[in-house]
């Protein structure tokens, strides 16, 4: 994907950096490299040392990491520290262990077709020179690569040195007091992008951040502030980078403010009556799109693009690159991609794959969070999809289709995806007018300080690095030493679920809404998978907020009702020649006296697609019957109950106090 001009420039990066270092002020000795306790001062000192405007240094760092140090662990694109100095060797060396390796789901999730077996593909794509900036920073500063990766102060100095080197190579003015607007080209290059569009989108977001200002406490407790200031970036500096310009064909479904290109997934037959790697449709005219599903790739950008262009593999609508947030669209939103492992959800969703890993001690970049949020907001507003956790869901929130498939469903993007921050970026509305009497709680932990003791991120059984998480852990009683709750589908023997990072059966995630089942001291109980589940929710550091809404409970006289993983029509609705898709309950039941938060009321639907040319009976039609379903937050995953089986009630009715 590299433009020839960029490729030669990147391979020369280390040589250029060493030469540029002779023109840059180097540390005068140990005192020059001494760490200061205050992160704000560290940015100011590095900016002064290397002649970079402090606002530029802070703006770049914010878009890379939000000024967090992430305990010296790499991002999903191999970036370290507040300045995201990249060393992709440390990511490509990670063991190939993640949700795609552990899961056994059929990505298509359609019982009427032959199972599409998952493929575990090794990620062998070599890192590009653009993802080795830690080496250039080492040459410029004289600091050891290990210090640049793990010491926040040294890392900030390395980032400042890189920006100054890029600025000099462009022939642009250097100096801590220079006009930030003249640094547009250096900021664009810092993104590591391979196109002018991606570099410009990154730089534009940096300068938007400088204009708006930011202030927050970092993950290691440092208050950092970027004062708002008026700045009009000189975008003409971008032309000197010699980057390729992307074509934006008609019909590309991305907002103009983000970098996006069209890399189509193939739609073609490949023998034995099979075809790939998605299905044609005409959504939303044919069928309403209800969901946007957030995934991670468990692979590098290059490998991800190779996979989605394979007709014998699976597909998704968009891929997002970690280092700069660049987006590639592969499938039109009107068509159905094979990404969620549940055909009902596939037929009614758009899938976004984010370059990264659900565990392995890595973190998602701010650049990728921001472009993802811009894309999702654009799609949601255009298609009428509510901006809430009932409709913007993770792959880990998609239910199994039948009892036999629940255990093999994937669990990305995992407990380290920052749902609260993501929904802030979406500018999603919040309804926080509830009280304990209103009977609903929205999970809402402080991401940075909420650090569950998960295990197995890299090595099975070994504790994960301490890090912020969107997940709260659920126990059988209001005590920290009580066993975790049991997910009977994951552990049929009834034993408690575990703290294994992939074991989501005893956790709830930020933004998810549950019906209140009890309160005791600092503990709150919710109805979860047919049982009371307790989580720590002290008033001094709450992990949930009260809200209002609608719940379901079994109709009078029903001791239990079934729960489903798909909302399909009754058998009588299927035309001749179309195989009936059984309304098959999952392992769980919803008992009288329990309540679950409602996400939507949906028609029973089945989109029939089984041939490449639509020639099979009923193909390319939506089969609808009389059945109607209610989507509920039943566990970590959404599920469905038949509307005929339940009462739909305002949440305060009979709520525990």
pLDDT per position as a tens digit, 539-556: 999 999 999 999 999 999
> Same domain for 296 and 386?
yes
pLDDT band at 653 (very low <50, low <70, confident <90, very high): low
pLDDT band at 17 (very low <50, low <70, confident <90, very high): very low
Q: Which helix (H) or strand (E) holds 308?
A: helix 301-308
Domain count, the chain: 3
Indicate the residue among 391, 415, 439 that finishes a domain.
415
> Same domain for 583 and 557?
yes
> Burial of 14 by CB count in 10 Å (0-12 exposed, 13-18 middle, 19+ buried)?
middle
Token pair for 162: 């890189």
Amino acid 31: pLDDT: 33
Mean pLDDT along residues 355-368:
90
| pLDDT tens digit sequence for 271-309 | 877 899 999 999 999 999 999 999 999 988 999 999 999
Can you tell me the distance from the alpha carbon of 290 to that of 296, in angstroms, rounded to the nearest whole number? Answer: 20
pTM for the structure as a whole: 0.93
Tell me what percent of the chain is helix, strand and coil, each rounded to the nearest 5. 30, 20, 50
pLDDT band at 458 (very low <50, low <70, confident <90, very high): confident
> Same domain for 223 and 366?
no
pLDDT band at 178 (very low <50, low <70, confident <90, very high): very high
Give the range of the structural domain holding residue 327, as residue numbers without chain letter: 256-415
> Same domain for 346 and 218?
no
Can you tell me the distance from the alpha carbon of 589 to that of 563, in angstroms, rounded to the nearest whole number? Answer: 6
Lowest mean pLDDT among 70-84, 178-192, 380-394: 70-84
Mean pLDDT along residues 64-74:
94
> Same domain for 218 and 322?
no
Mean pLDDT along residues 490-512:
97
- Would you say 156 and 82 are in contact if contact means Cβ atoms under 8 Å apart? yes
Can you tell me the distance from the alpha carbon of 510 to that of 525, in angstroms, rounded to the nearest whole number? Answer: 16
Amino acid 359: pLDDT: 85
Can you list the alpha helix ranges (DSSP code H) found in 397-476?
419-425
Mean pLDDT along residues 309-333:
96
Is residue 518 in a domain? no
Look up residue 368 and give its DSSP letter.
H
pLDDT at 11 over 70: no
Mean pLDDT along residues 365-387:
98
**Residue 188: CATH number of its domain:** 1.10.530
Is residue 439 in a domain? no
Mean pLDDT along residues 576-600:
96
> Burial of 384 by CB count in 10 Å (0-12 exposed, 13-18 middle, 19+ buried)?
exposed
Average pLDDT value over all residues in the chain: 90
What share of the chain has pLDDT > 90, as a percent?
81
> Same domain for 317 and 200?
no
Can you tell me the distance from the alpha carbon of 390 to that of 601, in angstroms, rounded to the nearest whole number? Answer: 11
Q: Name which residue leads in pLDDT, 299 or 624.
A: 624
pLDDT at 505 over 60: yes
pLDDT band at 118 (very low <50, low <70, confident <90, very high): low
| pLDDT tens digit sequence for 26-67 | 333 333 334 446 999 999 999 999 999 999 999 999 999 999
Amino acid 76: pLDDT: 86
Amino acid 656: pLDDT: 63
> Same domain for 298 and 179?
no
Amino acid 621: pLDDT: 97
> Same domain for 237 and 260?
no
Is residue 509 in a domain? no
| pLDDT tens digit sequence for 184-224 | 999 999 999 999 999 999 999 999 999 999 999 999 999 99
> Same domain for 287 and 175?
no
| Cβ neighbours of residue 155 closer than 8 Å, sequence gap 6 or more | 69, 80, 81, 82, 83, 85, 148, 149
Is residue 586 in a domain? yes
**Residue 335: CATH number of its domain:** 3.40.80.10
- Would you say 187 and 210 are in contact if contact means Cβ atoms under 8 Å apart? no
> Same domain for 44 and 180?
yes
pLDDT at 245 over 50: yes
Is residue 157 in a domain? yes
> Same domain for 269 and 199?
no
Amino acid 414: pLDDT: 95
Give the end-to-end CA distance of the chain in Å, rounded to a whole number: 58
> Same domain for 65 and 169?
yes
Indicate the residue among 241, 269, 300 that finishes a domain.
241
Neighbours of 335 (CB within 10 A): 18
pLDDT at 103 over 80: no
Amino acid 235: pLDDT: 97
Indicate the residue among 198, 213, 241 that finishes a domain.
241
Amino acid 166: pLDDT: 98
Amino acid 121: pLDDT: 57
Amino acid 111: pLDDT: 86
């Amino acid at each position: 994907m590299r433009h020839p001009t960029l490729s030669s420039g990147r391979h020369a990066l280390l040589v250029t950096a060493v030469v540029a270092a002779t023109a840059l002020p180097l540390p005068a000795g140990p005192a020059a490299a001494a760490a200061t306790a205050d992160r704000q001062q560290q940015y100011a000192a590095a900016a002064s040392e290397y002649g970079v405007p402090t606002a530029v240094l802070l703006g770049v760092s914010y878009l890379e990491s939000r000024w967090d140090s992430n305990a010296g662990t790499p991002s999903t694109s191999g970036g370290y520290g507040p300045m995201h100095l990249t060393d992709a060797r440390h990511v490509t060396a990670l063991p190939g262990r993640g949700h795609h390796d552990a899961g056994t789901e059929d990505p298509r999730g359609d019982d009427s077709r032959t199972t599409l077996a998952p493929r575990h593909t090794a990620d062998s794509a070599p890192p590009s020179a653009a993802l080795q900036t830690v080496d250039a920073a080492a040459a410029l500063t004289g600091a050891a690569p290990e210090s640049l990766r793990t010491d926040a102060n040294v890392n900030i100095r390395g980032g400042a040195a890189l920006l100054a080197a890029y600025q000099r190579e462009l022939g642009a003015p250097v100096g801590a007091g220079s006009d930030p607007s003249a640094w547009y080209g250096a900021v664009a290059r810092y993104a590591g992008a391979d196109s002018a569009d991606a570099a410009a989108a990154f730089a534009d977001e940096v300068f938007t951040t400088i204009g708006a200002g930011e202030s927050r406490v970092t993950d290691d407790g440092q208050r950092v502030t970027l004062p708002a200031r008026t700045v009009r970036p000189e975008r003409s500096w971008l032309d000197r980078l010699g980057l390729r310009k992307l074509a934006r064909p008609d019909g590309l479904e991305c907002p103009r403010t983000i970098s996006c290109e069209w890399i189509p997934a193939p739609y073609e037959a490949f023998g034995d009556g099979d075809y790939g790697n998605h299905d044609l449709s005409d959504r939303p005219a044919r069928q309403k799109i209800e969901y946007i599903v957030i995934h991670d790739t468990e692979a590098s950008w290059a490998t991800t693009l190779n996979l989605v262009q394979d007709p014998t593999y699976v597909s998704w609508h968009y891929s997002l690159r970690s280092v700069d947030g660049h987006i590639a669209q592969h499938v039109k939103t009107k068509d159905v991609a094979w990404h969620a492992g549940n055909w009902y959800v596939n037929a009614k969703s758009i899938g976004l794959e984010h370059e990264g890993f659900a565990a392995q001690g890595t973190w998602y970049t701010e650049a990728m969070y921001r472009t993802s949020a811009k894309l999702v907001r654009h799609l949601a507003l255009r298609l009428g999809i509510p901006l809430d956790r009932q409709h913007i869901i993770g792959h880990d929130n998609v239910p199994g289709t039948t009892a036999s498939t629940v255990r093999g469903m994937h669990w990305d993007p995992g407990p380290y995806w920052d749902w609260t921050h993501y929904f802030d970026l979406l500018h999603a509305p919040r309804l926080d007018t509830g009280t304990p009497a209103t009977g609903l709680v929205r999970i809402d932990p402080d991401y940075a300080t909420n650090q569950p003791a998960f295990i197995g991120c890299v090595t099975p059984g070994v504790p994960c690095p301490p890090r912020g998480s969107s997940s709260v852990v659920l126990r059988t009683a209001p005590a920290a030493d009580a066993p975790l709750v049991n997910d009977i589908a994951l552990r049929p023997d009834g034993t408690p679920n575990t703290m294994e990072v992939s074991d989501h059966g005893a956790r709830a995630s930020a933004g998810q809404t549950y019906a209140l089942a009890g309160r005791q001291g600092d503990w709150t109980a919710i109805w979860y998978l047919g049982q009371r589940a307790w989580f720590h929710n002290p008033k001094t550091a709450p992990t949930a907020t009260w809200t209002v809404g609608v719940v379901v409970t079994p109709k009078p006289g029903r001791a239990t009702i079934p729960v489903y993983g798909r909302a399909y029509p009754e058998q009588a609705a299927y035309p001749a020649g179309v195989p009936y898709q059984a309304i098959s309950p999952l392992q769980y039941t919803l008992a009288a006296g329990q309540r679950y938060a409602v996400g939507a009321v949906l028609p029973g639907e089945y989109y029939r697609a089984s041939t490449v040319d639509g020639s099979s009976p009923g193909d390319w039609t939506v089969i609808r019957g009389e059945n109607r379903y209610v989507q509920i937050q039943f566990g970590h995953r959404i599920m469905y109950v038949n509307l005929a089986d339940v009462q739909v009630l305002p949440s305060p009715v009979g709520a525990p106090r």
